[in-house]
Amino acid sequence: MSDGLITSAELLDFLGADEDAQSEIEEELQSALEQLERATGVDWAKRKDVHTANQAIKDMVYLSFYAVRDGSQNTEFVERHLTSIIKQLQYATEENNDAETQVEPAETDPPG
């Protein structure tokens, strides 16, 4: 896998899908990125620390590609996993934002 966001080719391999599904996978990838940005407030395409985001994207695309079209799939585990990952990403984003907004105390000259 590349260092950045997962690609549609990597998703095709992950899903075991044929090349004819490439355009559908690209659409699902874009949709997953938009959903993830709405859920976390982060544009993951501009981030380098995307490992956990890639896990969420894989879950979202899996659910869209397989589970939604085939009602016999048991999606409970994947849905719980996805929810957990999004919560992790939201928490990490909040922690990062809190760290960036904390103001360092101003240095003062010692009396004298």
Residue 3 has pLDDT above 90, yes or no: no
Encode pLDDT of 12-45 as tens digits.
999 999 999 999 999 999 999 999 999 999 999 8
pTM value? Answer: 0.73
Q: Which of 56, 36, 61, 55 is nearest to 46 (CA)?
A: 36
Residue 104 has pLDDT above 60, yes or no: no
Close Cβ partners of 86 (under 8 Å, ≥ 6 residues apart):
36, 39, 40, 56
Return the pLDDT at 103.
Answer: 43
Higher pLDDT, 111 or 80: 80
The encoded tokens of residue 1 equal 């896998």
Q: What is the mean pLDDT of residues 69-96?
A: 81
Residue 72 pLDDT level (bands cut at 50, 70, 90): low
